Amino acid sequence: MQEKKGKSRVLRISKAELFPKEKVIFSPPRLLWGRKNINKRGYYFSLDAFLAASLLLLGLFLVSSIYVKEQTITANYFAQDSMRILSGLTLAQANNSFINALISNGTISDSNMTILEQVGAFWAGNRTFLARQMIENITAELIPGNYGFAVYADGELIYSNNKSLVSSQVVSKEIVSGITKDKPFKGYSSKIVLTSIQARTTSSYSYFGGFTGEGNISQKLVLPSKVSKIKDAYIEADSSNNFTLYINSFYSGTYIKGSSGGGEMKADKWLLNSSYLSGFTNGTNRINISFSGTGYIAGGYLKVTYNTAELNDTEIVYFQSATMATKREWLPGINGVINLYSSLYAPGNITAMAAHLHYKSDFLTYLTIGNTTVLSSQGSGDQVKDMSDTELASKLNYTFISEKTVPVRIGSGSGNQTITGQGTADIVLASDASGSMEWCSGTVCSTSLKPPAKYCNTIANYRPENGTYCDWWIENYTLPNTNQVCSARWHAHCTSNDTRKIDIALNASKLFAGTVLGTIGNKLGTVEYTNPWDSVIPANGTWGQRFAPFPESIVGRQNLTSNNTAISQHLDKYLDAYWGTCICCGVVESVDMLTKLSNSSRKRAIVIMSDGEATDKCTGVGTGNAKADAIKAAQDACTNYNITVYTVGFGTDVDAETLQAMAACNGSYYNATDVQQLANVYKQIADQLVAISYSAQQINATGTGNFTSILYDDSYIEINYTPSSAIGFSSIPITLETERFGNNVTYGNLNVPDNTTVAAVRVTSYSGDKWTDNMTVSNSASYNSYSLVGWGGDYTLLGDPFIVDAQANIFRTGANTITISTGLAPANYTGGSIDDRAIYTLNVDASTSYTTSLAKSEGCAWEASFEDGTNATIKIPASYNGSKQCSYEGAAYDADDAFDVSAYWLFQKLDLEKNGKLNVVVSQEDLQLTTATVQNVPSLWGPAVIEARLWQ
């Protein structure tokens, strides 16, 4: 080799110094993101410059010695610069004959890619032989023949000149994004937008208020203009009476209260006969409910399920844009006495309101929105009241009532015509009339003063109430005459400062009656029970005849009445002390009274008191044991007739275990061990029964004049508001229902699927004769969505919503817990109904984002199943005529086809239950899909690590 002159000097480097044995030197990897427009002058050699530099380096390699540090640096930079050539030089700049040939024949489509990118693309596409040939052509003149050189991608060998490793090697790495094995470096990307559909199955609802009545009812139910098929119709209601349903004046069935799951704070549920569906029409439908007598509905709704091709018809909104919407809340028609407790809701900021009331009334009629009476008008005959925004805005705080469930109340009453609430309870007080009830209540009464059972005589058993004596000693006694039957009352055995238990019970029973009957509408009956005393009596001084004065063990029975005087007189006559204790007999007689003289629309209850143990069994109950018969009779009253059973233990000798087991249907056991506390216990039970049965929403009209009034169903409240959220382009609203909450706490869960947004949530609340007063929503946070107390402490002045609307934006993807309660006042909370549920609307995004870069975009014939039970074959794209079959339910499709992937993504969004069935029906005949496919899209795979290894 010729030595350089001047300041140059010959460097002699030995092989051992250049490549110390087993020493591997790594240069740090550098990241290469896609194609970079690199200023080659700033960072890289041109090809000629690099060749010149390479010759210089090769000359240096031939010299015989240098310091080890210089040797290591030289080898390291040589490896790095080799990688820089590959990563920095484009295919066009390489001016290589092999590369030019690949460009010419179309194997390479983008000459602006770097050599390293193209090598990676060949490797990722399983064309490693082309990557190997390209590296060989580029590096053949760069790498001296006595050096080993190899290139790896993610550890896989792409190229090697097959030189053996003698000493150490130098490694240089580059990271290249967008490539990975078996994935295209560039390919196809697709997206799908569903712009129209053949059909979707959804429902329209017409809701009743928390109390709608009293009288025949008419309401509107609106169906969209493009209903293709009515699938079914369903009604559920907590009604006070049987009713007949008319749809657009066509008879549509008669429905019997209590025949289909109804009861206290529970709805009867009926699916309408399919023959009635033809009565519905597109547009506005008029629904009429005609009661058998006076009636009302305390919550419920009519639901019509149908197929439609419209994408959005979930709200009866007359105009809606991103900035303004107008919603009309139609009021029900009421023909009888106007008495409505309901609500309204605007899902955004209210900007204006108006009201139109059309009614017929001869006395004061008022409208209360929230806690503000916006109309109070005394008139006569047919009347129309229109309230403008100016008038309503002066009385209502629009900001305060926006996005809130607002109670609405429409009622009547004036002057000498009084409309108040009333009770709905039918109660039987069953009292123990056994012999031990004669015992004294206090400790001053000694055991010696509690005589054993003894026979009557004409002196000790004088009955002052009718001036006669009772006497068992009647010869040839055949027919019991209770006026002649002796009780076990011994008038002289308690001291002056002590009281017999029977007298305490008598006074407490009268107090109980006064409390229950103090509320108009409640009724009370009494039963006094002992046992038959089926014994033998003496005849002519000898024992012989059977004696059973009370064959059914019932001393007396006062049927249900609202007359407190009648109750008091009956108790004075019949509440006395006789013989044994047939507790089951008292229960059976009480049930008989309630089932014959009351009905399931009333709050029915039995309060049974005993001072001892059950001594007699009941043949009709059939357990064969007196105590078991008592328990079964009480539990059967609950199970079979929804009768609440309260039990009271009176005194120290009670069988508490049996009485506790008898309490049923939310009844309780009360222990009056201190007999003086019986009055307090009775008062406590009476107050509770009055509270839970009080129907403050039902009208009790007194006074003079004509109480008949009519609210016409063309009345409405109209709201203008700015929507808090707008329905997005290509969004499809789908209305669903949760399961019934099924508990009286009451709480339930609403699960929001992925890829959906909540548009509306309405929670039903069967409050009976109480008010729905609170609702919370809990997920990652807790929200008080509704609170009646915020409108005032006197619930009787406020409306009662059956539908509680919740703000849509408080719901989160996943589980959301809803808790709802009822009450009569702010401090008087009770649970809700087992029939409560959420009815909610989800906005489903019916479009997909672009797929990643995939190898092909051909399409497929898809098999799809729908929630309505139908199936369809859908070609995506519509022009597809191949033989490939795909299945959404079976998740069978080509994951390398951009069309297939975007179609599968769309179907996933339309499958809300994630059960392989789509909630929206699409078919080939009228499915309109907008598909966009982009070719030669750089992929987002990888990154891959490319290594260049140099050794000697």
The confidence score (pLDDT) of residue 233 equals: 97
Give the number of other Cβ atoms within 10 Å of residue 952's Cβ.
Answer: 19
Query: How far apart are the C-alpha atoms of 847 and 192, rounded to whole Å?
Result: 5
* Coil/strand/helix, residue 683: helix
Number of alpha helices (DSSP H) and beta strands (DSSP E) in the chain:
17, 52
Alpha helices by DSSP H, 707-748: none
Query: How far apart are the C-alpha atoms of 414 and 379, rounded to whole Å?
Result: 11
For the whole prediction, is pTM greater than 0.75? no
DSSP, residue by residue, 261-307: S-BTTB-EEEEPPGGGGGG--SEEEEEEEEESSS-EEEEEEEEEEEE
Closest CA to 229 of 868, 883, 911: 868
337, 412 Cβ separation under 8 angstroms: yes
57, 49 Cβ separation under 8 angstroms: no
The confidence score (pLDDT) of residue 692 equals: 65
Query: How far apart are the C-alpha atoms of 456 and 486, rounded to whole Å?
Result: 6
H or E element that contains 46: none
Query: How far apart are the C-alpha atoms of 586 and 604, rounded to whole Å?
Result: 16
78, 24 Cβ separation under 8 angstroms: no
Query: What is the 3 state secondary structure string of 312-355?
Result: CCCCCEEEECCCCEEEEEECCEEEEEEEEEEEECCCEEEEEEEE
383, 359 Cβ separation under 8 angstroms: yes
Long-range Cβ contacts of 670-678 (<8 Å, 24+ apart): 670/646, 672/648, 673/649, 675/441, 675/501, 675/504, 675/650, 675/651, 676/441, 676/504, 678/504, 678/505, 678/508, 678/609, 678/648, 678/650
Query: How far apart are the C-alpha atoms of 92 and 73, rounded to whole Å?
Result: 31
As given in the structure block, the two tokens for residue 223 are 């169906």
Closest CA to 566 of 600, 520, 530, 517: 517
230, 215 Cβ separation under 8 angstroms: no
The confidence score (pLDDT) of residue 412 equals: 75
Residue 64 has φ and ψ, to the nearest 5°, of: -95, -15
The confidence score (pLDDT) of residue 459 equals: 31
The confidence score (pLDDT) of residue 494 equals: 52
Q: In the chain, which residues have pLDDT < 70?
A: 1-79, 166-168, 177-178, 182-186, 311-322, 413-422, 440-498, 533-548, 675-676, 691-707, 726-730, 923-942
Closest CA to 811 of 837, 842, 832, 786: 842
The confidence score (pLDDT) of residue 461 equals: 40
Alpha helices by DSSP H, 788-916: 898-910
The confidence score (pLDDT) of residue 631 equals: 96
Query: How far apart are the C-alpha atoms of 910 and 905, rounded to whole Å?
Result: 9
Query: How far apart are the C-alpha atoms of 327 and 535, rounded to whole Å?
Result: 78
Q: Report which residue type is found at 794.
A: D
The confidence score (pLDDT) of residue 474 equals: 33
Q: Report which residue type is found at 473.
A: W
Query: How far apart are the C-alpha atoms of 113 and 938, rounded to whole Å?
Result: 11
Burial of residue 58 (CB within 10 Å: 0-12, 13-18, 19+) is: middle
The confidence score (pLDDT) of residue 110 equals: 83
Query: How far apart are the C-alpha atoms of 30 and 34, rounded to whole Å?
Result: 13
The confidence score (pLDDT) of residue 448 equals: 35
As given in the structure block, the two tokens for residue 481 are 């005459």
Query: How far apart are the C-alpha atoms of 712 and 662, rounded to whole Å?
Result: 50
The confidence score (pLDDT) of residue 882 equals: 93
The confidence score (pLDDT) of residue 573 equals: 84
Query: How far apart are the C-alpha atoms of 750 and 741, rounded to whole Å?
Result: 10
